[in-house]
């Protein structure tokens, strides 16, 4: 009794679905490997900083509306 055979949805190659198969069950091992892209990490950090600044400005505006003159 062998492992079940599947066909990869990306490259359409036949592969065996093994117990320690990481990632999606309908993709082969080569197609499951994550793409290394450092630009995404930098862009994510920049958007987080922008979101933090926007949240801080929003809190300040609400505080000024609720408690004028403070």
DSSP conformation letters of 2-25:
-PPEEE-TTT--EEE--TT--S-T
| Predicted confidence (pLDDT) per residue in 22-59, tens digit | 778 888 888 887 766 555 555 666 677 788 888 999 99
What is the reported pTM?
Answer: 0.44
Q: Among 12, 13, 15, 16, which Cα is nearest to 1's? A: 16
Domain boundaries, the chain: 1-34, 36-70
CA dist 12 and 27 (Å) reads 9
Q: Is the pLDDT of residue 10 over 70?
A: yes
């Amino acid at each position: 009794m062998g492992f079940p055979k599947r066909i990869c949805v990306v490259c359409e190659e036949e592969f065996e679905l093994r117990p320690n198969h990481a990632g999606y069950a309908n993709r082969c091992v080569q197609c499951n490997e994550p793409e290394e892209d450092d630009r995404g990490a930098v862009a994510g950090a920049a958007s987080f900083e922008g979101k933090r600044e926007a949240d801080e400005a929003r809190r300040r505006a609400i505080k000024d509306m609720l408690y004028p003159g403070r």
